[in-house]
Amino acid sequence: MIEWIILVLVGLLLLIGIFYFNRFVVLSNRIDNSLSQIDVQLKRRADLIPNLIETVKGYAKHEKSIMAEVTKARQAMISAKNLTGKVKANGVLEGALGKLFAIAENYPDLKANTNFIELQRELSSTEDRVAYARQNYNDSILTYNNMVQKFPGALFASMFGRKVKEYIQIAPSEKVVPKVSFN
């Protein structure tokens, strides 16, 4: 009788252990996935820029400096080594784009161009997506850390060598107020 009880208890413990092991795997994979989503969305953003520059060129040839600024910010974002750098560059790019769209207000033909309108919407949509992806990443870390720190997850976490994950410091992109000079 005693043997049976012990056997059942061991079996139960094993099942709970398997559950937690798999749970940790799923949650940490989710973190990796949400992290790569940020990258995907930033790339999507970068891919839209050349098209935008082409469209703007057709209507506002003289705004060379702002176009150069946008192109430079895009280049910086693509060539950034890690995600932190990319997100930072994205902040700069966002500011430059804001300026570009403010300048576009002075060109009625450009403003009315369907291609331009479409790109503008697409870009503001990717801005949302970058923000959403980052949020998703933060949430994934939070869920994982809760699992690692709460009882009884904490017991299994130390058993499987799972540690609390650090948030990658991604500062919220600084809101750059577009400076527009009329001359």
Indicate the residue among 152 and 172 with the shorter CB distance to other proteins: 172
Binding site for other proteins (CB under 8 A): 30, 33-34, 37, 41, 118, 121-122, 125, 128-129, 132-133, 135-136, 139
Indicate the residue among 66 and 87 with the shorter CB distance to other proteins: 87
SS3 of 106-163: CCHHHHHCHHHHHHHHHHHHHHHHHHHHHHHHHHHHHHHHHHHHCCCHHHHHHHCCCC
User: What whole-number distance in Å separates Cα of residue 60 and Cα of residue 53?
Assistant: 10
Indicate the residue among 57 and 121 with the shorter CB distance to other proteins: 121
Q: Minimum Å distance from CB 36 to other proteins?
A: 11
Indicate the residue among 28 and 136 with the shorter CB distance to other proteins: 136
Q: Minimum Å distance from CB 39 to other proteins?
A: 12
N- to C-terminal Cα distance for the chain?
94
Residue identified by tokens 């043997």 is: 3
